[in-house]
Amino acid sequence: MDNDLIKQLTIMKQLNNSCLSLKLFERSNISLLEEILNKDSQELERLKNLKRQGKLNFGPIVKESELEELFTSLKDEVDNFLGVLDINAPKIEYCSRFNFFRPELFNKNTCISYAIAGSFLFFPLNWLLRNNTHTSLNSFFIMSTLAFIPTCHMLNTLRYNVDHYISETNSMHLFKNSKANLLPTMGHEYAHHIQRKILFAGVHDFEKNYSIFSEGISRGVQRHVSKIFKEKEDNEAFLYEILNYNVEEMKRLYPIMCYAFGIEPQQSLLKAKNFIEKHYFENNEPNRYLANDYHAIGNSLFYVLEIKFGSSIYKDAIKGDVSFLEK
Ligand SMILES: [Zn+2]
């Protein structure tokens, strides 16, 4: 096996979801999470007050024809931050939340599930149609059976209502938003594009096995873009969305980490509506929960690493140099 391939396989092994979950799940990270959560919660509260008073200016909704120009204003910032060159811009388009025919909704797994459900439904439906005695009960059964898959698809579409990057088509699909919210989101999705072009080119199980790494880097870029444009345009509205993400995601993880190490979480840090209660943790294995919350784990882990080692970790990580994980 040649050396490059061995190196690539070693990196991939270090970066998979289970290794990175364990990196976050260290006792020493708890105090750093508390520090971050404390600082960002206070900052968010201050911005929420400004928003309530109508003093945060998010700008008008960006038109689809303005997306490319907006991206141009952001691309160099992200390229410099990640230390990358010659990355072609992805396609950027708005998509509708109620477009049930978006190609990414028909990925391999979804199509297989629909095909299996369809074959199971075929026999009872066939029987009902053959023996149709035109009673209203029979019609009801037939209609419900026919509606089953479209209903699942509709629910799946609504569940998938987030801005996203599609590697198969090199495109970002964004939902209409104002400039102060859209620019950082664009930075997040563009970071996924860069990862796909550099570190994860040709890695097939990328979305499944490396999502903590991928979302952690993208949240770091989103945070950087928010700060840069807040300074450039002297507008704190750019910070609003990323602070919401930071606080929401860390509030989900912090109590779980505390309970795992037998530490009582600081109640003042948990004043959020949907944080997970202690009984949830006691009745569930932490890894089962942690395995699915890629944004929260990725964001918390890379935020903690950023505080420890500085923002150069993002440049190193995108090149595959993750020696900072061993420090
Ligand atoms: Zn993402």
What is the DSSP-derived secondary structure letter of residue 1?
Answer: -
Cβ atoms of residues 88 and 207 within 8 Å:
no
For the four alpha carbons of 105, 111, 112 and 115, in that order, the dihedral sign comes to positive
Residue 173: which of 159, 153, 193 has the closest Cα? 193
For the sheet with 91-94, list strands across it.
91-94, 171-174, 164-166
3-state secondary structure of 61: strand
* Percent residues over pLDDT 90 in the chain: 47
- How close is the Cα of 202 to the center of ligand 1, in Å? 18
Give the DSSP H or E segment for 171: strand 171-174
- How close is the Cα of 149 to the center of ligand 1, in Å? 28
pTM: 0.82
- In DSSP notation, 89-110 reads PPEEEE--TT-TT-GGGG-HHH
Q: How confident is the model at residue 102 (pLDDT cuts 50, 70, 90)?
A: low
What does the pLDDT read at residue 231?
97
- How close is the Cα of 191 to the center of ligand 1, in Å? 8
Give the DSSP H or E segment for 191: helix 179-197
Name residue, tokens 């490396």: 210
- In DSSP notation, 18-52 reads HHHHHHH--TTHHHHHHHHHHHHHHHHHHHHHHHH
Whether the pLDDT of residue 315 is over 80: the answer is: yes
Mean pLDDT score, 204-225: 89
- How close is the Cα of 164 to the center of ligand 1, in Å? 7
Domain ranges of the chain: 3-89+178-326, 103-159
Cβ atoms of residues 91 and 169 within 8 Å:
yes
- How close is the Cα of 11 to the center of ligand 1, in Å? 21
- How close is the Cα of 212 to the center of ligand 1, in Å? 9
What does the pLDDT read at residue 246?
93
- How close is the Cα of 121 to the center of ligand 1, in Å? 35
- How close is the Cα of 304 to the center of ligand 1, in Å? 18
For the four alpha carbons of 308, 311, 316 and 319, in that order, the dihedral sign comes to positive
Whether the pLDDT of residue 280 is over 50: the answer is: no
- How close is the Cα of 119 to the center of ligand 1, in Å? 34
- Of 53-57, 58-62, 69-73, 196-200, give the lowest mean pLDDT range: 196-200
Mean pLDDT (the chain, rounded)? 83
Q: How confident is the model at residue 282 (pLDDT cuts 50, 70, 90)?
A: very low
Mean pLDDT score, 117-133: 69
- How close is the Cα of 23 to the center of ligand 1, in Å? 20
What does the pLDDT read at residue 81?
98
Whether the pLDDT of residue 93 is over 60: the answer is: yes
Q: How confident is the model at residue 273 (pLDDT cuts 50, 70, 90)?
A: very low
